Amino acid sequence: MAIPSIDISSADNYPKPDGIKFGYGTAGFRYNANILSSTVFRVGVLAALRSRYLGGKVIGVMITASHNPPPDNGAKIVDPAGDMLEEAWETYATDLANAATSQDLADRVNELIKNLNIDISTPANVIYARDSRESGPALVKALEAGLKAAHDAKSTDYGLLTTPQLHYLVKSLNTLKSANSYGVPTEEGYYKKLANAYKKVLSGSEPYSITIDAANGIGAPKVSELVKHLEGTIDMTLINGKYEDPSLLNSSCGADYVKTNQRLPGGLDADVPKLKLFCSFDGDADRIVFFYIDEDGKFRLLDGDKIATLAASFLKDLVQETNSGLNIGVVQTAYANGSSTEYLESVLKVPVVCTPTGVKHLHHAAQQFDIGVYFEANGHGTVLFHPDAVAKLQTFQVSSPAQKAAIDTLLALSDLVNQTVGDALSDLLLVLAILTIKRWNPADWNQSYTDLPNRLLKAEVRDRTMFKVTNAERTLVEPPLLQSQIDNLVQKYSQGRSFVRASGTENVVRIYAEAVTQTLADELGVKVSHLLEAYK
């Protein structure tokens, strides 16, 4: 057989900037857009190779930098099942992104083709979309050049989408005409699937009212479109919806701002009504957090942990009614509030698994349950229904109307909740459906448990790679002795907990601290960060 090779001389038009080491991290590549075009070109090449490697399956590429500020952008590759790129390929992505010259890139690409035995005559199929950033169109050009260079991969531009919509399309295209077809592979198909499921779950209920902060991002026009399909079943007010002005994206608004600062987003009237539900999306609408003002006028956050516990308790009751014996588990990270874990384990009696940070880890752990609920505290998450569990429900012999109703609701929820990735639009409907059925206002939801006061800090260190962790990132193994110093501090605090790990997305080490009062949580956090001064 002739040695397969590929000509990527057009890479000369997208030279790699000197002195920068790119890394495909937890959230793909994410940098200032000015230095990204060489990397995005190479993402195009790699996506085409991945599609060929998998026999021509559809691969997705999303151009987004999520909650980052407007000058940033990024690229993430979506695998055929609609989940995140397989880990081994993250290394290939990093390797290609760092090739110094076009020749070096060609050599690395050809080596990959050879090592993985990729048949480059297999047709490649790549779809892509972008969020509302100003740099998006130029980076799409770089991506298209990379796809073209990779032996003219077949590709389709889906324009402006939320990240989860692209994941939906990838999974739908790859399951088209199969027995387990995921959905109609169009944006319209996405809205219809969600809207039909919502209407099934909530036939005849009063519309729930909610104010949505769309972070001035792509979630704004997309949620408006979704609401049109919902035909009056939700009563939505949109704020921070100016996605046409990319300079406003994530600026003093959005899920990350609200969660990090624990305060209302900008763009609201001074007089915010009490006990009314609000939510914030992030810039690419794959995260959502909720909040409200309580009777005393205090801001109350309902974050990913609160969404996970709400969903788990609702689903557990439903499953009990079905008598189907399906199991439910919740997956969290070390950043989950200790009270939420305690509530899940002791009150709801649901098993909880803790994984390292990054949704791909949570996603894989959630797949081990019949119904796996996973959320990061920051609001990224979903509920996975195992295909075998869905099949069991579909064919279950029902013996009472109550049992049938519970099964129908569970099946509708499996359509309502995005099965590929956390999705602000789909999670929004999930939460509204549960609150409507339970007739709960936000305070009813919030009272299930009280968050332990906590503090998240970060510290700059000379080399964050020296911080090695185990036990789902809750224990440091290196540098030596640091963990025992942290343990010594923690034991002095009532309900104290603290851990340190290197961030996967920023050049910092993060410090998390929790304790019985806010003052004590702050104090513990500060003391632990003092320990890190030795590593500056």
Ligand X SMILES: CC(=O)N[C@H]1[C@@H](OP(=O)(O)O)O[C@H](CO)[C@@H](O)[C@@H]1O
Report the interface residues with Mg ion, using CB under 5 A. Answer: 66, 282, 284, 286
Task: List the single partner that 378 binds among Mg ion, ligand X, none, CB under 5 to 8 Å by kind.
Answer: ligand X
CA 310 to chain centre: 18
Single out the residue of 29, 168, 191, 335 in contact with ligand X (rule: CB under 6 A).
335
Task: List the single partner that 219 binds among Mg ion, ligand X, none, CB under 5 to 8 Å by kind.
Answer: none
If one asks whether residue 340 binds ligand X (CB under 6 A), the answer comes out as: no
Residue 28 CA to residue 139 CA, distance in Å, equals: 15
If one asks whether residue 73 binds ligand X (CB under 6 A), the answer comes out as: no
If one asks whether residue 510 binds ligand X (CB under 6 A), the answer comes out as: yes
Single out the residue of 8, 27, 143, 239 in contact with ligand X (rule: CB under 6 A).
27
Task: List the single partner that 312 binds among ligand X, Mg ion, none, CB under 5 to 8 Å by kind.
Answer: none
Query: Any catalytic annotation for residue 66?
Result: yes
Contact 257, 250 (CB under 8 A): yes
Q: Which amino acid is at 51?
A: S
Site for ligand X in 360-389 (CB under 6 A): 376, 378, 380
Do you know the residue count of the chain?
Answer: 536
- Burial class (CB within 10 angstroms; exposed 0-12, middle 13-18, buried 19+) of 440: middle
Residue 424 CA to residue 350 CA, distance in Å, equals: 24
If one asks whether residue 217 binds ligand X (CB under 6 A), the answer comes out as: no
Contact 140, 128 (CB under 8 A): yes
Question: From the candidates 51, 66, 251, 426, which is the catalytic residue?
Answer: 66
DSSP H helical ranges for 238-303: 255-261
Stretch that binds ligand X, among 129-137, 232-240, 337-345, 353-361 (CB under 6 A): 353-361
Residue 175 CA to residue 158 CA, distance in Å, equals: 18
End-to-end distance of the chain based on CA atoms, in angstroms?
A: 54
Residues 269-308: x where in contact with ligand X by CB under 6 A, - otherwise, as a string:
----------------------------------------
Task: List the single partner that 388 binds among Mg ion, ligand X, none, CB under 5 to 8 Å by kind.
Answer: none
Q: Which is nearer to ligand X, 185 or 219 (CB)?
A: 219
Residues 7-26: x where in contact with ligand X by CB under 6 A, - otherwise, as a string:
-------------------x
Residue 226 token pair:
């979704």
Q: Which is nearer to Mg ion, 62 or 96 (CB)?
A: 62
> What is the DSSP code (8-state) at residue 123?
P
Contact 459, 227 (CB under 8 A): no
Q: What is the SS3 assignment for 475?
A: strand
- Residue 501 counted as an annotated binding residue: yes
Residue 420 CA to residue 7 CA, distance in Å, equals: 34
Q: Helix, strand, coil proportions of the chain in percent (round to 5)? A: 40, 20, 40
Residue 36 CA to residue 20 CA, distance in Å, equals: 11
The minimum distance between CB 16 and ligand X, in angstroms, equals: 24
Site for ligand X in 378-437 (CB under 6 A): 378, 380
Task: List the single partner that 376 binds among ligand X, Mg ion, none, CB under 5 to 8 Å by kind.
Answer: ligand X
Q: What is the SS3 assignment for 90?
A: helix
Task: List the single partner that 510 binds among Mg ion, ligand X, none, CB under 5 to 8 Å by kind.
Answer: ligand X
The minimum distance between CB 28 and ligand X, in angstroms, equals: 9
Binding residues for substrate: 376-378, 501-505, 510
Interface with ligand X (CB under 6 A): 26-27, 335, 357-359, 376, 378, 380, 503-506, 510
Write out the catalytic residue numbers.
Answer: 66
Binding residues for Mg(2+): 66, 282, 284, 286
